[in-house]
Chain A
């Protein structure tokens, strides 16, 4: 099944995972987002059978408030030898951060690196809520009606915010509308992602939505946010943290739960993609109506030595149901434009599907931790301890967000 098992012997390994509890938005108030990050990291280290004395690196990805320098001090690490932050944004960077950690340990720059993400949106601005950091009048003196952008992204969204494109669901609803126009994708196709993922969450005691069953009728009755996206097409916004320990194959051999090997990883963006469809609507049509991940996918399969048909279970970033369909296309599980019918065939279900997907409940129903919890679930699947365990799973694909510069990885049981 695994076409390149020989590579596993030299691969970096994922040896520990840690999670705090996941709670609905604003559900964690007594513990800071930063303390949760530390707790998740400590949990992952303990899960690996290590102590903080074994850790010499930290890795994260863009839009992180929790700086590795302070983390290293507060964790009491003997020495910080490696600290990196991927430029890939929010949802796009989780797999890149794992890949960067793997490159660090493979090069000898570090021995053991912890990748982490903590998100307590109740303690900060809620991303999906709208123009929270966009000032109203008055502006700076040079041009009274326009204020100075404090980042390149802010200057770009200066061309979206005044038009009421406040928030990711509005931007990506337009991507799905284009996909529907070209390929006949339907809201029911997206509904299959929402309903299937919710069913997986019902088996997962960590999942924020574990007690909220959903039928297709429930899905179709949920309120519109921005057509064709309903409320149940949009991921959760919540509080929680998770972390993953990456180390060398040699060091991983005696880890508490046994190693999971990183078979391959890839990251990047298409030519001219910028920050993706969130701010760029002038890209080629084939890029716009896609996940924007086809080159990342091609490089991932080349690096891994296996292909889509070798994947036993997948964790596909699900900020929006529709973008799962587009990722399935870009990563080659179905043809271009066939993501909707593929999902509607039942393929994504743990219960008998050909590609069990988001077996923890994903960002739609477990928790929104910028997809690092998808990496955690991948490790669980290959250890045989998922609450929706795929029998004999040997390989797992994890992808980061569609529609922004992104990353992906394949992990395998050695």
Chain B
């Protein structure tokens, strides 16, 4: 098991036929984005049709697992009781490197809330929430410079 930052009671993801593959990759600690095999456009969250060329063909494309903080918030209210001793925690939108500017929602861990900045370089840090559920958090990139 990996290091843990969030409690067991965090909501499990709900998935559709189009999004479940992303979570299957995550269970193997692979951070992927959906890529249209017809025109190459990447998209996240995953969907059934490419909004650029309207192809239904797609694949899971590996990312570099690094990116920068696009925006963030420091959450200071425990919206579920088991977060009471985990607040404050940081939610970020991370702009993934090498992914056509795509962003995803995640968390920034191993950081003091007041140290978070827009543009901070980050890298993925997997958290196994159970035997078959892994959630990609991010931590400040080792030796990373803000961009």
Contacts and interface: CB of A to CB of B under 8 A. Distances in A.
Interface of A: 129-131, 134-137, 139, 142-150, 152, 154-167, 170, 173-175, 177-178, 181, 223-229, 272, 279, 281-282, 288
A156 B23 contact: no
Contacts of B51: 272
B15 A130 contact: no
Interface stretch (B53-61, B102-110, B139-147): B102-110
Most chain A CB inside 10 Å of its own CB: which residue of B15, B73, B135: B73
Contacts of B24: 143
Interface string B19-33: 110011001000000
A146 B14 CA distance: 6
Which interface class (under 10, 10 to 19, 20 to 34, 35 or more) fits B?
Answer: 35 or more
B112 to A, nearest CB: 13
A177 B71 contact: yes
Contacts of B92: 174
A163 B5 CA distance: 11
A134 B12 contact: yes
Contacts of B135: 162-163
B10 A162 contact: yes
B14 A148 contact: yes
B6 A164 contact: yes
Contacts of A225: 75-77
8 shortest interchain CB distances as A-B pairs: A145-B133, A130-B79, A155-B16, A173-B73, A134-B11, A149-B14, A158-B13, A281-B93
Contacts of B105: 159-160, 163, 165, 281
B9 interface: yes
| Secondary structure call for the A interface | loop
Contacts of A139: 12
B138 to A, nearest CB: 10
Nearest to A160: B105
B117 to A, nearest CB: 9
B1 interface: no
A164 B72 CA distance: 12
A148 B12 CA distance: 10
A155 B91 contact: no
B40 interface: no
Nearest to B74: A227
Given A164-B89, A281-B70, A136 B45 contact: no
A49 B6 CA distance: 58
Interface in B80-105: 80, 83, 89, 91-93, 101-105
B73 A223 contact: no
B118 interface: yes
B79 to A, nearest CB: 3
Given A130-B80, A155-B18, A174 B72 contact: yes
B80 A135 contact: no
Contact of B79 (A129, A155, A227): A129
